[in-house]
Structure 1
Amino acid sequence: MDDMTPKLSLKREVGLVGAVSLIGGTMIGSGIFMSPQTVLFTIGSPGASLVVWAICGLLVILVSFCYAELGTVIRESGGEYIYILRTSGPVLAFMLIFSSVLFVRPAGVAGISLSFAQYVVAPFYSDCPPPVVLVKCVAAVAIIVLATVNCLNVRFSMSVQVFFMVVKVLALGVIIIGGLVMLIQGHTENFEDSFENTNLGINSIGIAFYQGLWSYDGWNNLNYVTEELKRPEVIGSSNLYCRPKMKTGS
């Protein structure tokens, strides 16, 4: 009778476009627009800051490949929680989710929301900094609205995610094209002695890498909704994931 009982499962409503926007739209967040100045100020030179961004990008690519492999082997939602649960047991998994739910995730969401609120209210306070209370209220409203949208309907939330991803990609495109135009016009003074005044201290390098990696954060979000993907692709040959059968008898 237990085998006949239907199991609870999530609806597979996230398609390819929604999956790409879930990763790209999250990675292209407020951190990518605010962290560059912190990286440049901390490391001290344009050349060193570009090296930091390149290394951070390479690290993110490598760990993304690892997560893609994990997502094809362990096809369950939950991200790193489910991976630690299946490989290291419930104790470590509970410690991870406990710290993530109470400290890590709320801090990250608060930082992103405050950054978003700063950009929203800035046009109304061009001559002075916006009131802190107003920024916090706008950030709180943004969190509540997005949480409500995600709770109401998966398809609608994916549509919102796709829309904002397109907007942020266009914004990045304007910045990149504008930079290239400036370079073509001969504004290359920042590349002259680009490694001068580089700070090689451990604190400076650590803070720069922290800011860079935080800007790239979001590459692991798709694995939290693995069970909601319409057609999850299996990477590589199926023989790669074959497990040896246990022998029975003597």
Structure 2
Amino acid sequence: MTLLTVVIAISLVTGLYLLVNVSYLTVMTPTELMSSNAVAVTWGNKVLGSWGWIMSVAAALSAFGSLNGTFFGGSRMCFVAAREGHMPEILAMAHVHRLTPSPALIFTTIISLVVLIPGDFQSIVNYFRLRNQSFPGRTPLVPIILPILVLIAAIFLVLAPIIDSPQIEYLYVALFIFSGVIVYVPFIHYKLCPGLLTKLTVFLQLLLKVALAEKNL
């Protein structure tokens, strides 16, 4: 039943995406597609006329649904990472009555707001365009030359856009990556815990009414 559900869902979504793209190409010219800031809105204005605003509402609802799932999923990732000792202990706590990881939710919200500060979609994309796809858990047995070639290609793909068109966002990404090393070595590897951090954890614990969870949420 689960396999059938997955097959039907993937087929349905794929078919809908194909129909949407066909409708775009049928109604709009390539020039209009390239110059449009919001293709769905342009399509709606041409096809629906005065009802074109419906496309904006539909896009907003779709983005809200995606944001809702990402918000809850991202906060749970921080929650689990904190339970494993990779993030501050306060993020591994949950509300004593509602059983929600509110510190992780608040932390995710703050990070999201910081990323939104530039106010430019392209700038936001630049922060995450260097993200690598993860390999499967099982390491394949291949000649050593292949990993070397993949490493060289990966280094080229990372450095090429930086050299060709350097942007301030790349510096922020580098600082973000190295900040992880700076935090990991003293606080995770050597398990240092300053008294100020302990006091801050206790203060936030009392303020947010949270405690360490005994099971996954």
The TM-score range, normalised by the shorter chain, is 0.3 to 0.5
Larger radius of gyration between Structure 1 and Structure 2: 2
TM-score with structure 2 setting the length: 0.44
Q: Specify which structure has the bigger relative contact order, considering alpha-carbon pairs within 8 angstroms and separated by 6 or more residues.
A: 1
